[in-house]
């Protein structure tokens, strides 16, 4: 397995963990916040909300305005 | 003191009324995505589009719209797993970034960036970005 494949696997595992935790929270299997609840918790603080919105805007700009072709 | 009147409409109609703003946002986001996606990346109009959306969001935040949902509770233990996940992701990204984001240890940007040079994925990208922005504004 190449380093690239390992890295992609780890990213996918993180994403799968997010989905699993959110499902567990929604079904009441784990006493934790849902993903939406966690975001709302951060957003209740003005600085947290500003950081979330800035991150959201940056993601849009980065991927939709600054994406180039893969290096050869 | 008078009690506020309860919503007498059937449950289906109440649900529809609640879903209407979300549906309107989804339709507007889809229309916007179809118009904006053909603008190529790495050009000033693409940057202007994202700056324009950011300006609209700033205006909405300043004017207190749309109405926000009930804020989440701050309970350390219930929030902790999300903090751990966010920290793990941030560490991985920073490690990939500071080692040069080569083919063997790429950042998410290096993996997904080239996908968003084609119009199809850009339509999906704009749509998801705008809908996420609305969702975030409601938090």
pLDDT in tens, B14-73: 777 777 888 999 999 999 999 999 999 999 999 999 999 999 998 888 888 777 776 656
Query: Are the beta carbons of B46 and A68 separated by less than 8 Å?
Result: no
Cβ neighbours, 10 Å, residue A46: 8
Query: Are the beta carbons of B129 and A68 separated by less than 8 Å?
Result: no
What pLDDT, on a 0 to 100 scale, did the predictor assign at position B52?
95
CA distance A9 to chain B (A): 11
Q: Which long-range contacts (CB under 8 A, 24 or more apart) does A3-11 make?
A: A3/B104, A3/B105, A4/B103, A4/B104, A4/B105, A4/B106, A7/B92, A7/B96, A7/B104, A7/B105, A7/B106, A8/B111, A10/B92, A11/B92, A11/B108, A11/B111
Query: Are the beta carbons of A40 and B71 separated by less than 8 Å?
Result: yes
- pTM for this predicted structure: 0.87
């Amino acid at each position: 397995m190449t380093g690239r494949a390992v890295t992609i696997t780890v990213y996918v595992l993180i994403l799968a963990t997010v989905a699993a935790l959110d499902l567990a929270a929604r079904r009441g299997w784990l006493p934790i916040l849902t993903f939406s609840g966690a975001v709302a918790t951060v957003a209740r603080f003005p600085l947290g909300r500003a950081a979330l919105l800035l991150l959201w805007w940056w993601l849009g700009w980065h991927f939709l305005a600054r994406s180039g072709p893969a290096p050869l | 003191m008078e009690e506020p009147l309860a919503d007498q409409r059937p449950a289906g109609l109440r649900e529809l009324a609640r879903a209407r703003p979300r549906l309107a946002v989804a339709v507007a986001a889809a229309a916007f995505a179809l118009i904006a996606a053909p603008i190529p990346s790495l050009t000033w109009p693409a940057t202007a589009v994202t700056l324009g959306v950011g300006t609209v969001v700033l205006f909405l935040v300043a004017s207190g719209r749309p109405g926000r949902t009930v804020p989440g509770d701050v309970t350390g233990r219930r929030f902790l797993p999300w903090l751990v996940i966010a920290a793990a992701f941030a560490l991985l990204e920073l490690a990939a970034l500071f080692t040069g984001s080569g083919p063997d240890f790429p950042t998410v940007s290096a993996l997904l960036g080239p996908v968003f040079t084609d119009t199809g994925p850009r339509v999906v990208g704009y749509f998801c970005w705008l809908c996420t922005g609305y969702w975030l504004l409601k938090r």
